[in-house]
Structure 1
């Protein structure tokens, strides 16, 4: 284990419950075996989504989604239904926090990139076919801030409410924003997370960038062909109170995070991964940890040539090849604005239930031109108690988050 960083680091922010719905499923009985096996049957090839007639693979959230309450019908979108599916899993914890602190001392900070765009697409089709929008449609359903407003109105939360939209780092950044509110004493608890649902706009946009794969994505593979898009929602309740929980579970925390913006290019990452490296080093410093304290890296791992090349360089400079790495995007798809929260949820499940690390399929096909990193093998488990998760976005917007148990260097627990 590495030597704990002796410089200043902030106190942990405790996680009180995790709700999660993606192509991995929405129950432990679905999620856990799929994680350990490294494959999900809800990663599906679809036709008719792309303007050029090509097929692609998407990660679909299976199962019936809950209906929104009648008094919240103005929020009716698949994106908000998907969000509600995950929120119901932590509802008891959120209600407990509201009762304990008051509705004005709880905040909502969430991330999305598509919001209700899919609803807008269907409304446009009806406009073209019938000459008018459906009566149930309003532009606000596809506004970015719609998700945060829905979460707050559903729970009756009156504290600060906002939605972050920084592309694929959106719901990673919410953890850093929540931490600032909690450390400033502005609120006592924060609902964080993200949701993004499948829509043709995003799929065709990525296809226009020649970044979309027609087959299941293979991060870090020599023959990788690009990304798969997925839909998902993941939410957590955060507070500084270790005991502020309604369930008997290990104390798992957001230990620290780092962010950077290298602004190298509107869509391509910095080829040397300078911003990614900065975010990971800042996360380690914020958590008071050394590279050797990290037992697993959940890579951004999009399976595009540029991302995997730069990310492997950045990981190697910080961790050498001593820490097991994998990307879980072949299991969920790239869930865009929800990706940071989705992969935080995967980290939480590994820590909460002592799961094996998600394996990286096709390790034998690892691109030899990439900087050397150690991809997860079947049966690997955490050898330390902290996980680092990366989320990188357009414009060089980078976030690294560290989750784990809270015994690392903390004497005030």
Structure 2
């Protein structure tokens, strides 16, 4: 357990998620400990050329949206609701404690309601008119934060951050700043991205999508699996009453702007984000017990990330990527992996190691890949998220 001398911990008061890992705590823990997710499925219908692609789906039923708010009626918001409902009691408690105007909502997304827009366009092609009830606002990025504010009767700051695959990691940095500046007493953070045709086809055009389950750091890795997820947390500088908690200990970011889609090959931006997060937490490499790697399973990302991890943390700290368990959930990736960190710390789970076996790429930097059944020796987890344009975020979570 981490001592309390770290700089300004941000306490996690509630946590909810829905992804290919499952919806219930039992299903999530089963997926993480076995290294297999039932939501990772082959889907031959998302790609325009008809080829098969593996995706991560949230397969449990989604709640309905209030019919009095038709402009919020999107699958993206339904997915968000399935995770947020798990936190309802804590959010309502925070409203009583702090007031509805003192709870901010800062969340990430990259696709918003685009899947509903795709269906609307098909309806237009087939019928000559857009479907009744469709409005462009449903696929605007702000729709997600507006929906959360309206659903929970909040009146504080609320907005969406969209920096591709680091979107829902950057919100933790924003939340910490809002709390320290006294602009909010609690912040709902997280993100949602739902599956749509745009993203798998877009990555397919970059030759970055794997037809089978992805293989992070593997010799035969050939690309990512797109996934969908909703993951949220309620944060505050106030510690919980029970005296023991999971907290965001530190966060770091960088923007190296090396290339619009390819990472900087030496991992300089990734390294900078990790070093900033360690400094922010007041920790050293020796304090880290596990690294949840960005680990997309592309040739370029895994090569550069392994270099950066080796330089910052050495070759003794266990590393794994959970992308084969969730798919790459894009704007929700940081948040769902933050939730995974929370479950490991809060429930003393073994480190998440995908069950598929593949030969490791010996040409990349020699970081230590975690073993099945391995547990944390130090209750601190570092989680990486790297996005297009070199927008990098590193979060550090620990048990206080």
Contact 2:164 2:331 in 1 (8 A): yes
Aligned length in residues: 400
Partner in structure 1 of residue 230 of structure 2: 233
Contact 1:298 1:343 in 2 (8 A): yes
Deviation at 1:63, TM superposition (A): 1.4
Match 1:272 to one of 260, 266, 269? 266
1:71 pairs with 2:71: no
Tell me the distance in 1 between the aligned counterparts of 2:158 and 2:144.
10
Deviations 1:370-413 (Å, cap 9, x if unpaired)?
Answer: 1001111111111001100000000000000000112xxxxxxx
1:80 pairs with 2:88: no
Partner in structure 2 of residue 402 of structure 1: 396
Tell me the distance in 2 between the aligned counterparts of 1:193 and 1:40.
21
Q: Secondary structure of the residue that 1:58 maps to in structure 2?
A: strand
Tell me the distance in 2 between the aligned counterparts of 1:402 and 1:336.
19
Task: Please report the TM-score for the alignment, with normalisation by the length of structure 1.
Answer: 0.94
Deviates most, 312-321 or 46-55: 46-55
Match 1:96 to one of 93, 99, 116? 93
Contact 2:213 2:324 in 1 (8 A): yes
- Cα RMSD of the aligned pairs, angstroms, is 1.6
Deviation at 1:74, TM superposition (A): 1.7
Match 2:362 to one of 362, 368, 378? 368
Deviations 1:220-250 (Å, cap 9, x if unpaired)?
Answer: 0000010000000000000011026xxx684
Instruction: Give unmatched runs, 5+ long, in structure 1.
Output: 407-413
Q: Secondary structure of the residue that 1:359 maps to in structure 2?
A: coil
Tell me the distance in 2 between the aligned counterparts of 1:362 and 1:373.
19
Q: Secondary structure of the residue that 2:184 maps to in structure 1?
A: coil
Partner in structure 2 of residue 312 of structure 1: 306
Contact 2:13 2:240 in 1 (8 A): no
Tell me the distance in 1 between the aligned counterparts of 2:357 and 2:37.
18
Match 2:387 to one of 390, 393, 413? 393
Match 1:293 to one of 264, 287, 297? 287
Contact 1:359 1:378 in 2 (8 A): yes
1:195 pairs with 2:192: yes
Tell me the distance in 1 between the aligned counterparts of 2:54 and 2:382.
27
Query: Quick one: structure 1 residues 126 and 258, their matched pair in 2 at CA, closer, same or farther if it must change by over 3 Å?
Result: same
Partner in structure 2 of residue 112 of structure 1: 109
Contact 1:360 1:377 in 2 (8 A): no
Partner in structure 2 of residue 40 of structure 1: 37
Partner in structure 2 of residue 409 of structure 1: none
Deviation at 1:28, TM superposition (A): 1.2
Task: Please report the TM-score for the alignment, with normalisation by the length of structure 2.
Answer: 0.97
Deviations 1:311-336 (Å, cap 9, x if unpaired)?
Answer: 00000001111110000000000000
Deviation at 1:42, TM superposition (A): 1.3
Tell me the distance in 2 between the aligned counterparts of 1:319 and 1:52.
42
Deviation at 1:72, TM superposition (A): 2.4
Partner in structure 2 of residue 337 of structure 1: 331
Deviation at 1:10, TM superposition (A): 3.1
Deviation at 1:37, TM superposition (A): 1.1
Q: Secondary structure of the residue that 1:20 maps to in structure 2?
A: strand
Instruction: Give unmatched runs, 5+ long, in structure 2.
Output: none
Deviation at 1:136, TM superposition (A): 1.2
Partner in structure 2 of residue 411 of structure 1: none
Contact 1:58 1:333 in 2 (8 A): yes
Match 1:172 to one of 165, 169, 174? 169
Deviation at 1:361, TM superposition (A): 4.1
Partner in structure 1 of residue 125 of structure 2: 128
Match 2:149 to one of 147, 152, 158? 152
Contact 2:36 2:354 in 1 (8 A): no
